[in-house]
């Protein structure tokens, strides 16, 4: 079985990687200055010339890029190549405002596919595997991103796309797929539906799950692994940088290796914008040193993570990012206390409940009220009102201890909260501020 897709990079020495990164950064900076008016203006404003960037160490001299810059240059204003060199466009809608449009040259698609093929190989995918892809196909990068990676790895891509869970299960069964790719919340739902259909997951040849596109916890991994009888791996990416495959877990299932020869990572303090050392959580920033069409410089992802150069038992030397805690723009401020939806999920799972929940925030008489709706299991549903009140109280106490803020807990009927086929919507913030 192939252990690495590109061993010369994945197990390279630090010196070699830095040399590759330096050469690519220098090339990229010239591309930005010469072909993207936005960057020429930004560099001129701070008196920076492309020649000032001599190695990867100079990256901190470069200005940051934010999502709003892409919106201001909507749709194609940040592209560095003429139209005839573009072979694909994707877009991500986000929650507000205009779409963020991204473009790729033929080479960009090849490098992205290579990075995703590295991911699949690291998770144990081989040429003999059928890959059931339930990420959406379309402007979202999930479906086509994994698809090209699967083909590049020599496996068989099955482009099912999202939706129609009954059909998903039938295809999983009939085709005998070995690998399932979707969001972790959808994987939970598929697991639940398989159980309801009376299918024993052990009867399916499914071995591996490749889940990402949203934050998920270690507890949730354990749940999914159990309900589908697979090994579940985390995959990370964002459309602005490429799509799925920017970073991926290996057999160790502990942190995601970043394809840092294409996507150079930094962690910064989101307030001071200063770089932070290994192991310290802050905002993840990427520079697309391997991209031609949309070479973003120090792009602020808003994802809260940390990076570590610690040795990994899989033999890869590529730096790892730790499981993102969430996005800084997902963070709720409840009566002055910072709360991430992932912390709420952690508490729910720790108490042995399923992660089917929704957080609703209101402001009553100038006071923030956070309500967490959690689905009961079928067995709990037959419990007495008194018993349910006791459970609510236990959860509320655990929330107070973990979050440092009071949450009103409301147990709701089984299967009453909406299920998602893509990224789950966990928070409804009704506050008008
Ligand atoms: O979600 C790309 C993707 C597709 C990644 C399929 C993995 C699998 P966007 O729609 O642009 O792209 O959303 C990117 O999703 O900034 C993170 O906040 C979040 N995200 C993606 N992967 C993970 C992950 C795709 N593994 C945004 N863990 C990112 C936590 C993730 N958050």
pLDDT digits (tens, 9 = 90+) for 114-172: 999 999 999 999 999 999 999 999 999 999 999 999 999 999 999 999 999 999 999 99
Mean pLDDT of 328-337: 89
135 lines ligand 1 (CB under 6 A): yes
The single residue listed with the structure tokens 């592209």 is: 79
Residue of 246, 285, 244, 280 lying closest to 262 (CA atoms): 246
Query: In the chain, pLDDT over 70 holds for what percent of residues?
Result: 99
Return the exposure string of 369-399: e unless at least 16 CB atoms fall within 10 Å of the residue's CB, then b: bbebbbbbeeeeeeeeeeeeeebbeebbebb
Residue of 226, 183, 175, 182 lying closest to 204 (CA atoms): 175
144 lines ligand 1 (CB under 6 A): no
Residue of 287, 382, 257 lying closest to 63 (CA atoms): 287
Please, which pLDDT band fits residue 94 given cuts at 50, 70 and 90? Answer: low
Dist CA 334 CA 369 (whole Å): 8
Question: What angle separates helix 184-196 from helix 165-175, to the nearest 10 degrees?
Answer: 80
Whole-number average pLDDT of the chain: 95
149 lines ligand 1 (CB under 6 A): no
Tell me the DSSP string of 354-409.
-S-EEEEEEEETTEEEEEEEEEPPHHHHTS-HHHHHHHHHHHHHHHHHHHSS--EE
235 lines ligand 1 (CB under 6 A): yes
Dist CA 67 CA 383 (whole Å): 48
Cα-to-centroid distance, 300 and ligand 1 (Å): 14
Q: From the CA of 239, give the closest atom in ligand 1.
A: 11
Dist CA 318 CA 118 (whole Å): 11
Among 142, 238, 301, residue to substitute to test ligand 1 (most atoms within 8 Å of Cβ)? 238
134 lines ligand 1 (CB under 6 A): no
327 lines ligand 1 (CB under 6 A): yes
Please, which pLDDT band fits residue 366 given cuts at 50, 70 and 90? Answer: confident
Quote helix, strand, coil % in the chain, to nearest 5.
35, 25, 40
Residue of 298, 291, 297 lying closest to 86 (CA atoms): 291
283 lines ligand 1 (CB under 6 A): no
Dist CA 312 CA 200 (whole Å): 35
Mean pLDDT of 171-182: 98
Cα-to-centroid distance, 224 and ligand 1 (Å): 18
- On whether the CB atoms of residues 146 and 116 are closer than 8 A, the answer is yes
Among 116, 185, 212, residue to substitute to test ligand 1 (most atoms within 8 Å of Cβ)? 212
Mean pLDDT of 368-388: 91
Cα-to-centroid distance, 349 and ligand 1 (Å): 22
Strand 326-327 to 299-305 pairing? antiparallel
239 lines ligand 1 (CB under 6 A): yes
Mean pLDDT of 354-379: 93
**Which residue is closest in CA terms to ligand 1's atom 21?**
213
Dist CA 111 CA 149 (whole Å): 10
The structural architecture, per CATH, of the domain 7-18+63-328 is 3-Layer(aba) Sandwich (3.40)
- On whether the CB atoms of residues 173 and 163 are closer than 8 A, the answer is no
Dist CA 364 CA 288 (whole Å): 45
Q: In which residue ranges of the chain is CATH 3.40.50.12780 found?
A: 7-18+63-328
Please, which pLDDT band fits residue 95 given cuts at 50, 70 and 90? Answer: low
**Which residue is closest in CA terms to ligand 1's atom 6?**
142
Strands (E), 124-275: 130-133, 156-159, 179-182, 208-212, 231-237, 244-249, 256-258, 263-268
Q: So what's the pLDDT on residue 96?
A: 58
182 lines ligand 1 (CB under 6 A): no
Dist CA 345 CA 368 (whole Å): 20
143 lines ligand 1 (CB under 6 A): no
* CATH number among 3.30.300.30, 3.50.50.60, 3.40.640.10, 2.30.110.10, domain 334-429: 3.30.300.30
Q: In which residue ranges of the chain is CATH 3.30.300.30 found?
A: 334-429
Q: So what's the pLDDT on residue 255?
A: 98
CB atoms within 10 A of CB 345: 22
70 lines ligand 1 (CB under 6 A): no
What is the phi-psi region of residue 121: left when phi exceeds 0, alpha when psi lies from -120 to 50, beta otherwise? alpha
> pLDDT (tens digit, 9 = 90+) per residue, 217-265?
898 999 999 999 999 999 999 999 999 999 999 999 999 999 999 999 9
Tell me the DSSP string of 256-294.
EEE-TTTEEEEEE-TTT--B--TT--EEEEEEETT-SSS
Q: So what's the pLDDT on residue 65?
A: 98
Q: So what's the pLDDT on residue 432?
A: 74
147 lines ligand 1 (CB under 6 A): no
Q: From the CA of 140, give the closest atom in ligand 1.
A: 10
Q: So what's the pLDDT on residue 433?
A: 61
Q: Is the pLDDT of residue 381 over 90?
A: no
**Which residue is closest in CA terms to ligand 1's atom 12?**
238
Please, which pLDDT band fits residue 330 given cuts at 50, 70 and 90? Answer: confident
Among 236, 249, 329, 421, residue to substitute to test ligand 1 (most atoms within 8 Å of Cβ)? 236
136 lines ligand 1 (CB under 6 A): no
Cα-to-centroid distance, 214 and ligand 1 (Å): 5
* Tokens found for residue 270: 């989101």
Q: From the CA of 327, give the closest atom in ligand 1.
A: 18
* Tokens found for residue 299: 């792009």
**Which residue is closest in CA terms to ligand 1's atom 1?**
213
Q: From the CA of 301, give the closest atom in ligand 1.
A: 16
């Amino acid at each position: 079985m192939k252990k690495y897709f590109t061993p010369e990079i994945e197990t390279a020495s630090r010196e070699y990687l830095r040399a590759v990164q330096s050469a690519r950064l220098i090339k990229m900076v010239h591309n930005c200055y010469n072909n993207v008016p936005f960057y020429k203006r930004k560099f001129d404003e701070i008196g920076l010339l492309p020649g000032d960037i001599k190695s990867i160490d100079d990256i901190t001299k470069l200005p940051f890029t934010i999502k709003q810059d892409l919106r201001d240059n909507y749709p194609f204003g940040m592209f560095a190549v003429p139209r005839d060199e573009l072979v694909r466009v994707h877009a991500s809608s986000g929650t507000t405002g205009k779409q963020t449009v991204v473009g790729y040259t033929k080479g960009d698609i090849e490098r992205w596919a290579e990075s995703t093929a590295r991911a699949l190989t690291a998770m144990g995918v081989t040429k003999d595997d059928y890959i059931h892809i339930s990420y959406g196909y379309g402007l979202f990068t999930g479906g086509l991103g994994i698809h090209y990676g699967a083909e590049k790895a020599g496996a068989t891509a099955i482009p099912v796309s999202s939706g129609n869970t009954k059909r998903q299960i039938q295809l999983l069964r009939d085709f005998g797929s070995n690998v399932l790719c979707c969001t972790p919340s959808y994987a939970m739902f598929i697991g639940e539906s398989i159980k309801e259909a009376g299918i024993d997951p052990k009867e399916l040849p499914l071995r591996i799950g490749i889940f990402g596109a949203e934050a998920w916890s270690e507890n949730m991994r354990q749940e999914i692994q159990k309900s589908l009888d697979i090994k579940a791996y985390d995959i990370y990416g964002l459309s602005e940088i490429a799509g799925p495959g920017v970073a991926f877990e290996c057999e160790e299932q502990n942190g995601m290796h970043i394809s840092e020869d294409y996507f150079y990572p930094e962690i910064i303090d989101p307030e001071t914008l200063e770089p932070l050392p290994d192991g310290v959580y802050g905002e993840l920033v990427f520079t697309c040193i391997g991209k031609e069409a949309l070479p973003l410089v120090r792009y602020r992802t808003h994802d809260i993570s940390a990076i570590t150069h610690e040795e990994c038992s899989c033999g890869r030397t590529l730096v790892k990012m730790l499981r993102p805690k969430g996005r800084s723009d997902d963070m709720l401020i409840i009566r002055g206390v910072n709360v991430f939806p992932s912390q709420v999920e952690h508490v729910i799972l720790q108490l042995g409940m399923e992660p089917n929940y929704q957080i609703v925030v209101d402001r009553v008489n100038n006071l923030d009220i956070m309500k967490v709706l959690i689905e009961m299991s079928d067995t709990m549903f037959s419990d007495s009102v008194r018993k349910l009140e006791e459970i609510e109280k236990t959860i509320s106490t655990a929330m107070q201890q973990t979050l440092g803020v009071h949450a009103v807990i409301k147990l709701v009927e089984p299967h009453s909260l909406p299920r998602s086929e893509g990224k789950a919507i966990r928070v409804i913030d009704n506050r008008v501020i």
